[in-house]
Amino acid sequence: MQVQKASYFARKDDPVPVPAHKEALARCIDRLNESRVLAGARNPKIGKERNRWSYCQGYDWVMGFYSGQLWLAYQMTGNPALREAAQLRRPQFRAVLEDRKSRDHDIGFLFSLHSVADWQMTGDETARAMGLEAARALLGRFREEGGYIQAWTPVGPQDRDQARFANGRMIADTMQNLALLHWAYRETGITDFREVAMIHADTTRRHLVREDATSFHTFLFDPSTGEPLRGETHQGYSDDSCWARGQSWLIHGFANCYAVTGELEFLDCARAVADKAIELMGETSVPVWDFALPADGSHPVDSSAGAVMSAGMYLLADVTEGEESEKWRVHAHRLLDGLLESCDLTRVPGAEGLLAHGAAFVPAGRDDAMLPYGDYYFMEALMRSLGHRQFFW
């Protein structure tokens, strides 16, 4: 049985814990202990009204983030009720593995935070097997021509527009899903998992990241030849804008790829997109939802982008040294403190989530909301600030 124990403040050069971050993390855990009772087996999807959650109905790309929070809180406390709440969700994840039409590239988010976390925290063999099955499904989305993992699944000939939109497309968000492949390689030694993750990351670096280190949200290839066609947006302001959460996925994703492979080209890419994000943030401490727009209060911010970016910069601080490491830490701190100052719901009685002011999909009207991924990365960033190093990526 492989049970990985939490290792707090394990290194000589670990940071001095910030009391405000310790206190905030304790409030997050208290909030989870309240919300898990309300939620039962349901997974939070979005909270727009009165800081109350609406829940996922069946498969949803966000369905693993609540499990991820429960596992982090379990790791911090050892409270068995948190472990049981995460494991209660297992049948829903099993159902995803049994329905090829519902799942897509986000299977990495789902299973890293649900099954891989379970395996790491409890040594449960069923959880490991589910994680490996999910990794094989993700591997099957690799398109040899073009060298990328296809993001979305066309729903069928009855919806030609969706098929046209889905086929041949890679997206920035997939960088986070690669962690499941790297984990599967470490577990099994099967090199396909690692190779596909490396090729996809390299294609992302060459096509989704622009020369000036801003990023496209998606990139389209001719699905039959793999010929690179053009960058386009899905959730951003415009095709040539820089969607803040997409940039944040790239920072965290490339930093993690470097952490698990040691390939310097991934570190350099993480550095470049992170430096660009710092430049685009200017004086702000919570990113505007798309960097093409002025950050003057006239456009929604995206706390989830801030949380992902902060966690990613702490990770960069961990994999670099000296002054450079300090630079990333300072910016990660600034982002985290921005969230604590203007988005923290853990001090708001009756709120069910952790962070306000997330922007799920602004062009579709889904802004100013609680988002389970914002909450997950908020906890991850707080824990990284405190020197914690066991995550499920």
Residues tagged active-site:
106, 173
CB closer to ligand GLY out of 141 and 327: 141
Dist. CA 383–CA 371, nearest whole Å: 19
Which residues does 268 contact at the CB level (< 8 Å), separation at least 6? none
* C-alpha to C-alpha distances, 155 to 97, 103, 158, 165, nearest whole angstrom: 17, 11, 8, 11
Dist. CA 82–CA 35, nearest whole Å: 11
CB closer to ligand GLY out of 171 and 386: 171
Q: C-beta of 126: minimal distance to ligand GLY in Å?
A: 27
Dist. CA 134–CA 117, nearest whole Å: 13
CB closer to ligand GLY out of 110 and 267: 110
Sign, CA dihedral 30-35-37-43, equals: negative
Which residue's Cβ has the minimum distance to ligand GLY? 173
CB closer to ligand GLY out of 61 and 393: 61
Q: C-beta of 19: minimal distance to ligand GLY in Å?
A: 32
Q: Which residues bind ligand GLY (CB under 6 A)?
A: 61, 173, 235, 245
* C-alpha to C-alpha distances, 187 to 180, 190, 256, nearest whole angstrom: 10, 8, 17
CB closer to ligand GLY out of 61 and 148: 61
Q: C-beta of 147: minimal distance to ligand GLY in Å?
A: 21
Token pair belonging to 270: 């993480």
Q: Are strands 148-149 and 142-143 parallel, antiparallel or unpaired?
A: antiparallel
Dist. CA 303–CA 355, nearest whole Å: 7
Q: C-beta of 48: minimal distance to ligand GLY in Å?
A: 15
User: Which residue type, as a one-letter code, is found at position 158?
Assistant: Q
Inter-residue contact 258 to 250 (CB < 8 Å): no
Q: Closest Cα partner for 274 from 358, 349, 190, 330?
A: 330
CB closer to ligand GLY out of 87 and 218: 218
Dist. CA 380–CA 258, nearest whole Å: 18
Q: C-beta of 244: minimal distance to ligand GLY in Å?
A: 10
